[in-house]
């Protein structure tokens, strides 16, 4: 998703480019990553590899002196790499297809409006016998965005509204259906587990150049998701008493950029996320209708998180650049209890997560439009969740190599 | 020269990292191949074909992947530049690649597999590629191909009479007799910068993405195939090409 945003930004970075010239963009990128995962409680490293492939094609043309059209398509793949960590020979993998058309209306030299319909579909395979079309977690997204870019006195202000519909054509939840049939007093209508949702978002981003050496980028985004069919669970397991699920997210990002010299600059970044959902969770220990054993938790997924990263970018020469990056992440659930070593919930403590990472990237421009990159990342994550099977406490070393050609 | 050696070392570090697991998971992979022969066929097809456009001065090219010959897969590609384009119209290259897995015919020489019959695995892939020169050193290309393959093997007698090993018998019995023809169209796009190229495509019926990174010299070429949905994901290539004009 990050790469997709980067490409969209590539076009957005030149919002006031002359409308007379057509522009094409083409990029292919392949990468292979090797992971050494050290899960707390396990002996030794679990070695695995992943592989990704991106194909981006974009074209921008002028429909008139005031209107430009940008077409963009991306196909991507993420999945297991050269060395699979699965003895059964299968790891989850996905193919994504993304297409958009962006219409830019140049109102004046400093103000531009845009409308952007887009479509996204993800094929997700979880098992060897699962066909791409039948993936349980396949999903699609279709929608429309609109907004404006306003350029004034060394500042760029962007505001946009997005409306999208997400659908999951194959999703089913047999565990939840079984829970309502065996423990609850009534079954669950199939529509009540339909995960499809509507999403609306408002985004405001601002970039100000204080001096040739200092600038500041900031962004705020509010997202609302409403599930027209999906009911949240209630403790009595009566779906007619339940509300529809809805989620809200507030996201804030601040990134000052300091150019310390011609070759060296730093871009510390702070990101804050506040996620609130009425999703509730049943942890079923026994389906026995005469002696059901389960735990019920309201507000299970709401959290706030703080991420801080400090990338130091050093451009040795036009061919070689290095990025040293360190970051910390902190996430605290508002109501989710943590777990004890035996896997039982500890109701006295809310779950939190802390992670630290450090990485080094070497970008080598073989030619102007052919880049070879090597990246090393170390991440250490810890949580007050003492259940080691939950996978919250680990250290991981990742070495990635990427080749990218673009025009 | 040092640069080239560095590139090739990188390629082989990529490629041979995959071989370590092969021994341990050989049975699993054999079962995967037999359970999904179409994937096996497509892997060989990708390794053997070369649908890069002819960007050099010559009009014809003969091409073969020597690495596949080592694995007893005979293969040859022939391509011809039908049209030399100009600033507005792209150049058009067309051709066909074919391969035949002759090494499988040796299987009946093995005592336990002597009752194996009708072993024949081969494929052809005609293609058309259009390319545009967008700068002095950079070409963009796009094309389509049709992958056609035939996999035929009959191990039913072997499974019934010869194989005593339970594990192997289970695998072989499951797919004792395969006689299938595959036809699968695909599209591909790519970019070539100097002698390096990166190509990606999508196989419609199999719903597979594939990619290839190639270095194409005057005679020798080296490459690495990325076939993400395959049993072996990275495939090294050692190519030999001969170009000429009539």
Identify the closest residue of chain B to A92 by CA–CA distance.
Answer: B229
> CB of A351 within 8 A of CB of A393?
no
User: Which are the contacts of B238, defined by CB distance < 8 A and separation ≥ 6?
Assistant: B65, B66, B67, B220, B221, B222
**How close does chain B come to A173, measured CA to CA in Å?**
26
Which residue has better confidence, B16 or A356?
Answer: A356
Question: Residue B138: its chain A contacts at CB < 8 A?
Answer: 369, 407
CA B119 to CA B156: how far, in whole Å?
A: 12
Q: Which residue has 């990128």 as its token pair?
A: A29
User: Which are the contacts of B146, defined by CB distance < 8 A and separation ≥ 6?
Assistant: B125, B126, B127, B183, B184, B185, B186
- pLDDT digit string, tens, across residues A283-325: 877 777 677 777 889 999 999 999 999 999 999 999 999 999 9
Give the alpha-carbon dihedral of A12, A18, A23, A28, to 10 degrees.
Answer: -30
Select from A64, A187, A72, A62 the least CA-distant residue to A120. Answer: A72
How deeply is B136 buried, as exposed, middle or buried, from its count of CB atoms within 10 A (0-12, 13-18, 19+)? exposed
Is A129 an 8 Å CB contact of chain B? no
Helix (H, G, I), strand (E, B) or coil at A335: strand
The count of other CB atoms within 10 Å of the CB of residue B106 is 11
**How close does chain A come to B220, measured CA to CA in Å?**
20
Is B8 an 8 Å CB contact of chain A? no
Supply φ then ψ for residue A406, to 5 degrees. Answer: -145, 160
pLDDT of residue A359: 97
> Is residue B21 pLDDT above 60, yes or no?
no
Supply φ then ψ for residue B206, to 5 degrees. Answer: -75, -15
- pLDDT digit string, tens, across residues A28-52: 999 999 888 888 877 777 888 888 9
Q: How far is CA B4 from CA A12, A151, A370, B10, B115, in A?
A: 37, 47, 15, 10, 48
CA B70 to CA B47: how far, in whole Å?
A: 13
Is B20 an 8 Å CB contact of chain A? yes
Pairing of strands A197-211, A214-231: antiparallel
If pLDDT is split at 50, 70 and 90, which confidence band does B32 have? low
Calculate mean pLDDT across residues A154-172: 94
CA A239 to CA A122: how far, in whole Å?
A: 30
Which residue has better confidence, A272 or B14?
Answer: A272
> CB of A29 within 8 A of CB of B143?
no
CA B203 to CA B39: how far, in whole Å?
A: 11
Question: Residue B26: its chain A contacts at CB < 8 A?
Answer: none
CA A78 to CA A58: how far, in whole Å?
A: 21
Q: How far is CA A330 from CA A316, A357, A382, B165, in A?
A: 33, 12, 10, 55
pLDDT of residue B33: 66
> Is residue A149 pLDDT above 80, yes or no?
yes
Question: Residue B17: its chain A contacts at CB < 8 A?
Answer: 34, 49, 82-83
If pLDDT is split at 50, 70 and 90, which confidence band does B30 have? low
- pLDDT digit string, tens, across residues B116-172: 788 888 999 999 999 999 888 899 999 999 999 998 888 777 777 766 666 666 666
Strands, E assignment, A126-196? 139-152, 155-167
Question: What ipTM goes with this model?
Answer: 0.76
Average pLDDT, chain A: 87
> CB of A62 within 8 A of CB of A46?
no
Helices B26-35 and B37-48 meet at what angle, rounded to 10? 100
Identify the closest residue of chain A to B18 by CA–CA distance.
Answer: A82
Is B6 an 8 Å CB contact of chain A? no
pTM given for the model: 0.84
Select from B214, B212, B220 the least CA-distant residue to B243. Answer: B220
């Amino acid at each position: 998703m990050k790469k997709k945003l980067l490409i969209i930004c590539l076009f957005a970075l030149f919002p006031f480019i002359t409308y007379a010239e057509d522009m094409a963009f083409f990029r292919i990128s392949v990468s292979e990553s090797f992971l050494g995962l050290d899960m707390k409680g396990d002996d030794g490293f679990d070695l695995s590899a992943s592989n990704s492939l991106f194909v981006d094609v974009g074209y921008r043309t002028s429909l008139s002196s005031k209107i430009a059209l940008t077409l963009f398509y991306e196909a991507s793949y993420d999945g297991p790499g050269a060395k699979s960590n699965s003895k059964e020979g299968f790891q989850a993998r996905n193919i994504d297809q993304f297409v958009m058309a962006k219409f830019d209306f140049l109102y004046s030299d400093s103000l531009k409006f845009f409308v952007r319909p887009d479509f996204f579909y993800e094929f997700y395979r979880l098992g060897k016998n699962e066909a791409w079309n039948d993936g349980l977690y396949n999903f699609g997204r279709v929608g429309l965005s609109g907004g404006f870019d306003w350029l004034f006195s060394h500042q760029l202000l962007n505001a946009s509204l997005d409306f999208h519909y997400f659908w999951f054509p194959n999703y089913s939840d047999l565990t939840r259906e079984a829970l309502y049939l065996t423990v609850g007093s009534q079954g669950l209508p199939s529509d009540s587990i339909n995960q499809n949702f509507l999403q609306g978002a408002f985004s405001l981003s601002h970039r100000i150049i204080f001096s040739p050496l200092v600038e500041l980028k900031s962004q705020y985004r509010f997202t609302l998701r409403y599930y027209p069919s999906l009911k949240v669970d209630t403790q009595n397991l009566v779906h007619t008493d339940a509300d529809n699920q809805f989620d809200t997210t507030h996201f804030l990002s601040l990134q000052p950029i300091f150019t310390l010299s011609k070759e060296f600059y730093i871009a510390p970044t702070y990101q804050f996320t506040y996620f609130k959902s009425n999703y509730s969770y049943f942890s079923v220990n026994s389906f026995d209708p005469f002696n059901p054993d389960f735990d019920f938790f309201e507000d299970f997924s709401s959290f706030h998180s703080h991420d801080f990263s400090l990338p130091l970018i050093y451009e040795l020469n036009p061919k070689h650049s290095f990025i040293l990056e360190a970051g910390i992440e902190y996430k605290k659930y508002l109501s989710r209890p943590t777990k004890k070593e035996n896997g039982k919930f500890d109701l006295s403590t809310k779950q939190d997560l802390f992670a630290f990472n450090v990485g080094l990237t070497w970008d080598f421009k073989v030619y102007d439009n052919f880049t070879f990159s090597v990246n090393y990342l170390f991440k250490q994550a810890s949580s007050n969740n003492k259940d080691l099977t939950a996978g919250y406490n680990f250290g991981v070393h990742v070495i990635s190599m990427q080749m990218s050609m673009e025009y | 020269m040092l640069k080239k050696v560095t590139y090739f070392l990188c390629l082989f570090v990529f490629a041979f990292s995959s071989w370590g697991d092969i021994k341990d998971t050989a049975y699993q992979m054999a079962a995967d191949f037999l359970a999904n022969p179409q994937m096996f066929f497509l892997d060989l097809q990708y390794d053997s074909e070369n649908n890069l456009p002819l960007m050099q001065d010559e009009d014809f090219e003969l091409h073969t992947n020597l690495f596949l010959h080592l694995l007893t897969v005979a293969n040859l590609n022939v391509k011809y530049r039908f049209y030399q384009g100009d600033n507005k119209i792209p150049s058009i290259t067309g051709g066909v690649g074919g391969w035949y897995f002759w090494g499988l015919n040796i299987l009946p020489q093995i005592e336990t597999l002597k009752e194996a019959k009708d072993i024949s695995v081969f494929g052809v892939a005609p293609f058309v590629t259009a390319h545009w020169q967008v700068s002095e050193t950079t070409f963009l290309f796009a094309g389509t191909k049709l992958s056609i393959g035939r996999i035929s093997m009959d191990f039913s007698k072997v499974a019934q009479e010869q194989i005593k090993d339970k594990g192997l018998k289970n695998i072989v019995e499951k797919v004792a007799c395969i006689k299938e023809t595959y036809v699968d169209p695909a599209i591909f796009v790519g970019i070539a910068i100097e002698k390096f190229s990166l190509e990606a495509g999508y196989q419609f019926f199999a719903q597979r993405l594939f990619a290839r990174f190639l270095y194409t010299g005057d005679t020798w070429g080296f490459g690495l195939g990325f076939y993400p949905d395959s049993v072996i994901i990275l495939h090294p290539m050692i190519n030999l090409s001969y170009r000429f004009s009539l």
